[in-house]
Structure 1
Amino acid sequence: MSIEFWKKLKSEAEQLIKSEPLLSSYVHTCILAHHNFETALGFILSNKLADEVMGSLTIKEMFEQCYLLHPEISEAAMFDIQAVFNRDPAVHSNLTVLLNFKGFQSIQVHRLANQLWKLGRKDLALFLQSRNSEVFSLDIHPAAHIGQGVMFDHATGIVVGETAVIENNVSIMQSVTLGGTGNEAGDRHPKVREGVMIGAGAKILGNIEIGEGAKIGAGSVVLNDVPPHVTVVGVPAKIVGKPRCQSPCETMQQNFLED
């Protein structure tokens, strides 16, 4: 998958240069100057995160080592790009997601922070969390688990707590919180199962489960488990129907009145 996906990205980059010459140098530096997807991704992310204290080369080396030792992490990034491309009607190329979409980019930064956290390098992981928050305007704890094919649409204001789990193929809109209910310790954050879509501004609080294929309406406050394949909405959230498809994350249909 990696080689074919990289070829497609390079083809899209060459087409972009032809259609928009002013982006020629930028696209060449970010894409065409690299030999594979992993080095291009690491270059893009490291330049986003670098500041006057932590330079881009140091951060880039962390990404490249991570991708070398854990190829499943860069593979997950490809699935994330394809998820955004397939679900967002505003997206017309995979390259656009890679270069411009902060929801995608922030998830990839988290993947590195999560790996460092697992290795016991918690201070470095927390540094990346902080930079991720400052640059992309969201906050994901390094210990949180995020699967592949995940889409953070717009992304601004998303908060994901330490023991939260987001499984494969989930779509989350802006200003969503996967948080706790107080200062309790231990396993205290939501578990979001595959196929779920969470509408803008929803707050999901506590160690609760959002069942497979469920839909959470915009602005809802969810305090209890949500069964699979139902639509909930309100404050507090209540079941109001069932999504029209098995995986609401794919259709992104946010009008709960149609369920």
Structure 2
Amino acid sequence: MDSEQTISVMQILGILRKRLRLIVITTLVVTIAAAFVTFFVMTPKYEATTELLVNRKLSASDQAAALQQTQADVQMISTYKDIITSPMVLKRVSQTVNNYPGYPGSISNLKDAISISNEQNSQVFSVTVETSDARTSAAIANTTAKVFKRQVVKMMSVHNVSVVSKATPNFGAVSPRKGLNIIVGLIAGVILGGGLAFARELSDKTVTDETFLTEELGLTGLGLISEIDEKEIVKQQQAKRHAKRDVLITGSNGMIESREQHRRV
């Protein structure tokens, strides 16, 4: 059982070594293609984040219920997330920023560009916007926070939302991740090259080993015929032609002379 596994591994290594050139070329092509798409095709994306705090102001008489109120505010964040991405808020945001460079182009795309997150049991939640322009991302995030803060008062008659920090332009692109893309292209190239190598090997029906004839097909081996290189054949033919020109002939005086000497005589 172990010997069969060893032979199998050796065969795999032999195929990879035999098709090494194919694997290297495929890896280079795929890696270069991944780099080209990353640097020249994919549009860089920039993020900007604003943070909002949910904290209702309580009167002195309600201080005893502060803990229960805090838990209620945390639970309200889920509702606030839905309000932020509602058409009522996004339409007003779109009217303000639709002429900015890198604007997503529609309210549905604007919704996809906005992500909202918060830590567990935290009254602070973040509104993050990702577009192809750093300043536009910051403008959309700040406008969204402003519109939401105004609309939540009208809809729920609460004043427990305040802006903790405004979004500022971040000119470091968050995507594409150039290094990661190139590494993925390199790995994909190696895998694809290996797959092509095995496909070429399996589709090659040329008999290259005598054991295949004797063991697999049960035939009797009568001998081996060595392959002669075509260049070697041409070289031998040229040597024969030169030998004919310089062949030695016997002169009338019994001496051995070259053909050229015989002509001069």
| TM-score, with structure 2 as normaliser | 0.20
More helix by share: 2
| TM-score, with structure 1 as normaliser | 0.20
Q: Which has the higher contact order (CA 8 A, sep 6+)?
A: 2
